[in-house]
Each structure stands twice: as structure tokens, then as C-alpha cells.
């Protein structure tokens, strides 16, 4: 089963870039990077994912009732792998300068400071 094909096409490039950035730390980081948005952006469930990455994907999935910074602080309490992947995710968003709104840039920069390990 190809989980990446479940993503909408406009998200695939993002998760592939995040996977490349996170993959500098190892193949397991690359896999988590590739699937970091799978729960939020598709109908995939945690039970469908490889068992060894479920906890990280769950950590990287923002809850419906969670503020952004509550979410970032929860990620910070997660595994090193989850933190590295979230930093790669934010880094990729910050690199999209043509479409990045100033308010989001500020939010992402603050999140990177929180997640600095």
C-alpha cells in the first residue's frame, strides 16, 4: 500500500521535502517526515501505519482543540525524531517565501525557538 498516494497532490511535494530534510538523520526520520501529515490530510488512521512510527505520527498530529503553541509544546515533549521532523516541516514552510505570510513567518520562527534542541 502506497500511503503517500493518499495525499492530495499539492501536499506531496511538501512531505517529500520534509522527508529529505529529516532523512539526513536516518531512514526512519525520512519515513516519519514523509508521513507526518498523513492523519491530518487523509483518511488514514494510526492503525494503518507501521507500528514503530505510530507514536511519532500521533505526536506530530495536531488535535482539533489544540492551539498551535500547545501543539508545539506537546511535540517538544515527544521523541527526538518527532522534534527533528517537526523542525524539518517548519523549515520547509519558512523556505516558501513567495507564499509565506508575515504572521505565519513569525509563528514558525517562534516555534523553531521552542523546538530548538
Structure confidence at residue 117 as a pLDDT band (50, 70, 90): low
Question: What is the spatial distance between Cα 60 and Cα 85, in angstroms, rounded to a whole number?
Answer: 8
Residues of the chain above pLDDT 70, percent? 98
Which residue in this structure is represented by grid cell 492530495?
Answer: 8
Judge if pTM exceeds 0.85: yes
Burial of 113 (0-12, 13-18, 19+ CB in 10 A): exposed
pLDDT for the residue 57: 98
Which residue in this structure is represented by grid cell 523553531?
Answer: 112
Using the predicted structure, report yes or no on whether residue 1 has a pLDDT greater than 70: no
Mean pLDDT of 52-61: 98
Amino acid at each position: 500500500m502506497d500511503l503517500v498516494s493518499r495525499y492530495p497532490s499539492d501536499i506531496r511535494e511538501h512531505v517529500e521535502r520534509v522527508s529529505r530534510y529529516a532523512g539526513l538523520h536516518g531512514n526512519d526520520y525520512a519515513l516519519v517526515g514523509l508521513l507526518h501529515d498523513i492523519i491530518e490530510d487523509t483518511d488514514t488512521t494510526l492503525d494503518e501505519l507501521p507500528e514503530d512510527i505510530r507514536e511519532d505520527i500521533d505526536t506530530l498530529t495536531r488535535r482539533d482543540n489544540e492551539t498551535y503553541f500547545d501543539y508545539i509544546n506537546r511535540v517538544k515533549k515527544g521523541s527526538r525524531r518527532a522534534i527533528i521532523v517537526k523542525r524539518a516541516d517548519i523549515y520547509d514552510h519558512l523556505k516558501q517565501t513567495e507564499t509565506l505570510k508575515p504572521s505565519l513567518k513569525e509563528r514558525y520562527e517562534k516555534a523553531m525557538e521552542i523546538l530548538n534542541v
